[in-house]
Structure 1
Amino acid sequence: MPEKEITRISKFLSLVLRHQPEKINITLDENGWTDVATLIQQVNKSGSRLSFEILDFVVANNNKKRFAFNPDKTKIRAHQGHSVEIKLGYPPQTPPAVLYHGTSEKNLASILAEGIQKRNRHQVHLSPDKSTALTVGQRHGKPVILQVDAAAMHAAGLVFYLSENQVWLTGLVHAEFLHVLTT
């Protein structure tokens, strides 16, 4: 399957599994799961073509590993990034000493004044490495990488979670825990 097609399907799945399930008339349970057969049926009703084999391929080959099946592959959900109300059920974790956040230069002033806020998502997303943060930052303009003192945040009582695709999640990163890195 061409990379462009994987990306197109992945973006559509992100839309319906993270933000607008009503767009194709599916429902997410309290943990973000939806029935695979219903998802496929509703995607096909919406005018796109999706089979279980294509869905399975996209989940396995999505470069950001955004989606997961339950063990018997009858349900699917997005790992994180939801704007709809769900409970992912990840247990609190002790983060590594340093994490990273990629953003664009145009957002830097407000982040340094207000910290990194979750905005319309459930959590702030942090990367375990600079290269991932750079990739994220490039999506929004001229990239800036912020180093996050996760150890100090954790010591101050802030809670961290680790998604299944290795994205670190937290509610807010105060500006005092940030250091701008040169790219």
Structure 2
Amino acid sequence: MVNKHWETSLSKFMTKILRHTPEAFGVTLDPQDGSCPIEDLLKAVQTEPKWSHITADDIRGVVDRSEKQRFEIRAGRIRARYGHSHDKVQYERGTPPLILYHGTNERALPSIMEEGIRPMGRKYVHLSEGTQFAAMAGSRRGELVILQVRTREAAVAGVEFYYAGNEVWLAERIPADCCTLLAAD
């Protein structure tokens, strides 16, 4: 049986390394996709006494069971799919569905409706194809609100969209006039 608290804690530590401070742990990320060999991440994780016993299988388990699908493993390399604050990882430009969703909190709503959605300490705004992921992302810091983003209008306004995988889309910003508050059920 998997200890959910332990796994969540390890996931947060992996997030810190892969999304925010890889250099502090001696990890070099590929500038194109933000990946590194699993073995490099494992060595970095094991430098912390709390995680000295971690194996590559433990890391794979975190990736496989992550509800938010934060990580991806391909060909022996691991990367965070989104949420980077250290460098702008290259993503392939794409054409998203006509509507994407952004979860945020009620306090941020007036600013968003005036200035649009901005990345705030991250490199990109995170959007999702469904409301479930938007709700998970937006409910962390207060009363949840979900915005619908009209992507065709945003593209006409010059917004470029990038697909990060697992129904997550990224953009540098979203103009306010492309956003509508999703009515509560």
**What's the CA shift for 1:135?**
2.1
Query: Structure 1 length normalisation: TM-score?
Result: 0.91
Following TM superposition, by how much is the alpha carbon of 1:86 offset from its aligned partner in structure 2, in angstroms?
A: 3.8
Aligned residue for 2:43? 41
Alpha-carbon distance between aligned partners in 1 of 2:88 and 2:107, rounded to the nearest angstrom: 30
Q: 2:61 — aligned with what?
A: 57
What CA distance in whole angstroms lies between the structure 1 residues aligned with 2:28 and 2:12? 18
Report the count of equivalent residues: 180
Counterpart code for 1:143: L
**1:52 deviation in Å?**
0.6
Residue of structure 2 equivalent to 1:110 = 111
Structure 1: which amino acid aligns with 2:79? R
Partner deviation per Cα, 1:75-133 (whole Å, 9 max, x = no partner): 21101110111433x32111111111100011111111111001221211001112222
CA contact (8 A) 2:161 2:169 kept: yes
CA distance in 2, matches of 1:140, 1:146: 16
- The Cα of 1:156 is off from its aligned counterpart by 3.2
Give yes or no for contact 1:95–1:154 (8 Å, CA) kept in 2.
no
Listed as ranges, the gaps of 5+ residues in structure 1 are none
Deviations 1:134-168 (A, max 9, x none): 22221111001111111211233321111122201
Q: Which residue of 2 aligns with 1:155?
A: 156
The answer (yes or no) to whether the contact 1:24–1:46 under 8 Å persists in 2 is no
Instruction: Look up the match of 1:70.
Output: 74
How many angstroms apart in 2 are the aligned matches of 1:144 and 1:11? 24
Alignment check: 8 A CA contact 2:130 2:167 kept: no
Question: Amino acid of the residue matched to residue 151 of structure 2?
Answer: A
**Where has structure 1 moved over 3 Å in runs of 4 or more?**
none
TM-score calculated relative to the size of structure 2: 0.90
1:56 alignment partner AA: R
Match of 2:94 in 1: 93
Q: Identify the residue that residue 29 of structure 1 maps to in structure 2.
A: 30
Structure 1 vs Structure 2: percent identity of aligned residues? 37
Which amino acid letter does the alignment assign opposite residue 156 of structure 1?
Answer: A
CA distance in 1 between partners of 2:31 and 2:141 (Å): 31
Gaps (5+ residues) in structure 2?
Answer: none
Q: In structure 2, the residue corresponding to 1:159 is in which secondary structure?
A: coil
